[in-house]
Amino acid sequence: MKFACCNLTTGVSECLSCSKCSNNYHIKCLYPSDKRKELPSDTKKHWICPECTVAQPRSARNDSTPVRVQSMCHLRNDVDNVNSRRGAASEVYDDCVLDLTDRSSLIDVIKSVISTELASFKAEINVIMNPIKEEIKLIKKEFENFRESLEYINTKFEEMVKRTDSFQEEIKVLSKKCIEIGKLSSSIEKIESENNNREQWARKSNVEIYGIPEKKNENLISLLQTIVNKTDLQINMSTDIDFVTRVASKKSENKKTKPIIVRFLCRWKKDEFLSVVRKLKLRGTDIGFNDGNSSIFFNDHLTSTNKTLLQSVKKAASDKNYKYVWVKNCSIMARRSDTSPVLHFTGLKDLNKIA
């Protein structure tokens, strides 16, 4: 059963049924006060609802009979429908003449109208609020997701701060280690330089000979004597020479002829020997090698470090069009031209001198 007063289908059992349209109304909705809940059976039988009451034609009289007014329970869009003429003090309501002096009855009618309007307003509000509630749920869900994301970001940020602090501590430790490594590197470089100088000093009396072919069971002393015989030098193999030997080559030089190292007991004789034999420009055929016509080179016996330095100086000098690069008394020197100053090189850092 549906009630026209509040659009409910269930609820209070006490109700009225319109004698014209047969619509059902709650007595509580029509008469909220307790005084009008008990209605006479004749009134209930011939009761007309507010909609049907409004539809009835209005009559006017010349006497003091009060005018029937529209039911206030029907006023959903207009609550000022009460009308009385010539100061009349009565209202016809639901086929019953109500004395307007009965204030409680008027209040009940007003309350009924208000209750009906409030019920309608509540229903409209519910229609409006339902989508709003859904939107609020979505907003709450998005806000919750945002809060979770913010917490996640906050957690990650704290982790990054901790890692940054850890990195800073590690950087401090690494900075100290770098300083220590720099000091050790300087110390090692100094030690290597000193060792190279000592090793080179021990080789200052040595001559390194390249280009002499190897023979099985060769006699290097006799070979050296043959070279000395090509000069006017007075060199005694027993008193002036400490040793003559071929040095072991590196793996990358296995296919090349091993050089011969000659150690003189007197340094000035070594320098004199070098000065003379370099001018002879000997070849293999000059000392008895019929199948060897390659040039023979006589050099100071440099250390591996100084040999590397010599190659670097030659390359840099060639790039800068230097005219001379040579070695004298195990010292590496270079000159751009005949009138240019002589540059001395003791390490790779000296390559900056070549401009």
334/323 Cα distance (integer angstroms): 8
Instruction: For the chain, state the CA radius of gyration.
Output: 63
pLDDT of residue 251: 55
64/88 Cα distance (integer angstroms): 7
109/113 Cα distance (integer angstroms): 6
Closest by alpha carbon to 30, among 9, 10, 50? Answer: 50
pLDDT of residue 249: 64
Q: What are phi and psi of 242, to 5 degrees?
A: -85, -55
pTM for the model stands at 0.51
Contact 264, 242 (CB under 8 A): yes
Q: How many residues does the chain have?
A: 355
pLDDT of residue 197: 92
- C-alpha distance from residue 69 to each of 6, 44, 45, 106, 287 (Å): 23, 20, 21, 13, 153
Domain layout of the chain by residue ranges:
15-117, 205-301, 302-355
Spell out the residues 6+ positions from residue 350 whose beta carbon is closer than 8 angstroms to its own.
Answer: 343, 344
Task: Report DSSP state, residue 335.
Answer: E
Q: What digits encode the pLDDT tens for the residues 143-165? A: 999 999 999 999 999 999 999 99
Q: List per-residue pLDDT tens for the chain, 355 residues long.
A: 677 777 666 655 678 788 888 888 887 777 766 555 567 777 777 888 887 877 766 554 444 444 444 443 343 333 344 444 444 333 334 444 444 445 677 888 888 889 888 988 888 888 888 888 888 999 999 999 999 999 999 999 999 999 999 999 999 999 999 999 999 999 998 999 999 999 999 999 999 999 898 888 899 999 999 999 999 899 999 999 999 999 876 655 555 788 999 999 999 999 999 999 999 999 888 888 887 678 899 999 999 999 999 999 999 999 999 999 999 888 999 999 999 999 999 988 899 999 7
For 205-301, the fitting CATH number among 1.10.3720.10, 3.30.70.1820, 3.30.800.10, 3.40.718.10 is 3.30.70.1820
pLDDT of residue 124: 87
